[in-house]
Structure 1
Amino acid sequence: MKKILIIMHNYAEIPTLIRKNLDDLGYENVDFIFYAEEKFRYKNMAQKVKNLYRKTILKDKSYKDQLRKEFIKRTLLEKAERLPHYDVILMLNTDFFSDEFIRIIKTKTKKLVGNHWDGLSRTPAIYSKIKFFDAFYVFDKSDVDEKNKIYFLTNFFFNFNESQKEEIIKQDVFYLGTYVEERFNVLKNISKVFTLKNISQKIILFTWDKREAEGEITFTNQFLSYEENMSHVKSSKALLDLKLKEHNGLSFRFFEALKYHKKLITDNAYVKDYDFYKKENIFIIGEDSEEELKSFVESPYQEIPAEIKNKYSFENWFKTLIS
């Protein structure tokens, strides 16, 4: 079995879920490196004293952030130098890692593979890093450039074994997202439509700022666990998805809906280009008639053939990256 290293940012429980799915599939020879894994330490007493002076006398809190970034970069470079050789190194969240780090990593493997879960234009620093990779995968078809080894690969659903307990349906539509100003007016408008049509909804937005609820939209500054999020997904008839203007890739919600047999309401019309698209299951805002929204939510989900559905599993995603 191949010896594999995964390098990524440690956030939103994703590494834990990846480990769980790899264990479930029988992958035993996979190591991880995480961005900002070690607790910050001052390099010497002079740094500590200088930070205290700048913070208390100059009211400058940015110096410690600068030191923290330097510490992360230094510890990552030290780790990279000590690494053994791997058959494949897979790097996610590539924009977090320095060119110097990636250059060293490339010497530690036969094949260096990148995967980006966002539009390239949202993280322009990534463009200069793609040249280091033997293959680089993106989820937006418009970012594909096979001449420069940039290939298309969608997001996925986790397919590890889990409880088959049936959830009681508590609401018609569920949406969990991060507060993004450009999407907020769209979200408020669709929420009003749900209310007018007696479509029950649970909408939660994450933001660091303390905000009061607006209509049916509630705010939180606490991260929901994966289990909490999936519990809301399972107890809903449909999921809501709103795209960002910078890319046309399909978010993880499309694949959560596919896994759990849920309807989807979205403003991303590019979903019609995918083989799992069925008009009975996916309502496109701005194209499909609002008059049909209530009946869309209440009508039965149309099953997708297993051979299509399984193409979007974690298992298939991972095999594609390491092949």
Structure 2
Amino acid sequence: MNKILIIMHNYAGLADLIKKNLEYLNFDNVDFLLYSEEKFRYKNSLQKLNNLYRKTFLGDKKYKEKLRASFIENTLTEKAHRLLQYETILVMTADFFSEDFLSIIRTKTKNLVGNHWDGLKRTPNVYSKLKFFDKFFVFDKDDVDEKNNIFFLTNFFFNFEEDKYEPEIKNDVFYIGTFVEERFKALKNISKILSQNKISQKILLFSWDKKDNDGEINFTNRFLTYDENIDFVKSSKALLDLKLKEHNGLSFRFFEAMKYSKKLITDNPDVKNYDFYRSENIFIIGENDGKELTNFVENPYQEIPSDIKNKYSFENWFKTLTS
């Protein structure tokens, strides 16, 4: 089998989940190179003392982050030089990796493929890196430019085997996300509407900064594990999704909802252009009548045909990238 290397950041344990799914599908020809895999180490005691001095007397709290970034870059570069040849190398979220690093990776394969889980406009530093890739896949149709080898590919749901238990439904609506100022006002408005309609909700927002809970919105500074997240998904009738203004790509939440047969409430109208869209399953904020929200949550989910559903599995996503 062709040897494949995946280069990515293990954000929220995503790389571990990809490994698990590959093992489930009996792919034993895939290696990983992860961003920031090694814990940061000072070069010497002088560097450590210098950081202490700058932080204590100069108020420079970013110096260590600069050292850490340099450490990561040097570590990745050393590993890149030692790599053998691969049939295909996949780079996820290229914005984490420097052009110098990618130029080395380019020499290690005849097929360098990128996949981006964000809008290109939100990560403009990616544009200068596109020249290294034979193919680059994006999840926002507006970013597609096939003449320049930029192709469309949605996100996916993991299709490894899971426990078949069906937990008790505890919430009507579940939302988890990272605190983003532009989305917070919209989230508060939606939460208020849910409360007014006596629709129970579980809303979790991640923030490094300590923030007080706001109504039904709860803040946390701890990443939920995949299993914890899925437990909340399974024990809810519907999921909530809020888009960012810079892109129209569909988040992983759409595909989790499809996998677990959950309703979805979203402010992304572009979902109507996908073959899995059903008005019985997906409520579009700003287009659907808010008075119908309670009925939407309570009415039964309309199952999606398996041939459509399977198009959005991890297995199909991975085969598209490596074919």
Relative to the length of structure 2, the TM-score reads 0.98
State how 1:122-271 maps to structure 2 within 5 Å.
122-271=122-271
State how 1:43-192 maps to structure 2 within 5 Å.
43-192=43-192
Q: Deviations over 1:287-318 (max 9, x none)?
A: 01111111111111001000000000000000
* Partner Cα distance (1:320, 1:135) in 2: 11
SS in 1 for 2:110: strand
* Partner Cα distance (1:56, 1:291) in 2: 56
Superposed displacement of residue 285, structure 1: 0.5
* Partner Cα distance (1:48, 1:265) in 2: 49
Superposed displacement of residue 63, structure 1: 2.4
* Partner Cα distance (1:43, 1:200) in 2: 52
Higher mean alpha-carbon deviation, 67-76 vs 307-316, is at 67-76
* Partner Cα distance (1:291, 1:60) in 2: 52
Q: Which amino acid aligns with 2:265?
A: I
Q: Deviations over 1:136-157 (max 9, x none)?
A: 0000000000011000000000
* Partner Cα distance (1:60, 1:29) in 2: 45
Superposed displacement of residue 129, structure 1: 0.2
* Partner Cα distance (2:215, 2:77) in 1: 49
SS in 2 for 1:304: coil
* Partner Cα distance (1:210, 1:187) in 2: 18
* Partner Cα distance (1:93, 1:277) in 2: 27
SS in 1 for 2:112: strand
Q: Which amino acid aligns with 2:119?
A: G
Superposed displacement of residue 192, structure 1: 1.0
Q: Deviations over 1:203-251 (max 9, x none)?
A: 1111122222211111111111110100000011100101000000000
* Partner Cα distance (1:55, 1:187) in 2: 37
**Residues 54, 262 of structure 1: CA spacing in aligned structure 2 closer, same or farther, 3 A cutoff?**
same
* Partner Cα distance (1:52, 1:287) in 2: 55
**Residues 59, 290 of structure 1: CA spacing in aligned structure 2 closer, same or farther, 3 A cutoff?**
closer
* Partner Cα distance (1:59, 1:186) in 2: 36
* Partner Cα distance (2:37, 2:88) in 1: 21
Aligned length: 323
SS in 1 for 2:168: coil
The question of 1:20 aligning with 2:20 is answered yes
Q: Which amino acid aligns with 1:51?
A: N
RMSD, aligned α-carbons: 1.1
* Partner Cα distance (1:56, 1:295) in 2: 58
Q: Which amino acid aligns with 1:160?
A: F
Higher mean alpha-carbon deviation, 48-57 vs 277-286, is at 48-57
Identity %: 69
Q: Deviations over 1:7-52 (max 9, x none)?
A: 0011201011000000000000111111111122233444334333
Superposed displacement of residue 272, structure 1: 0.2
Where in structure 1 are there 5+ consecutive unaligned residues?
A: none
Superposed displacement of residue 54, structure 1: 2.4
Q: Deviations over 1:62-109 (max 9, x none)?
A: 322222111111111110000010010000020111101101101101
SS in 2 for 1:254: helix
* Partner Cα distance (1:56, 1:165) in 2: 53
The question of 1:294 aligning with 2:297 is answered no
Where in structure 2 are there 5+ consecutive unaligned residues?
A: none
* Partner Cα distance (1:231, 1:260) in 2: 11
Relative to the length of structure 1, the TM-score reads 0.98
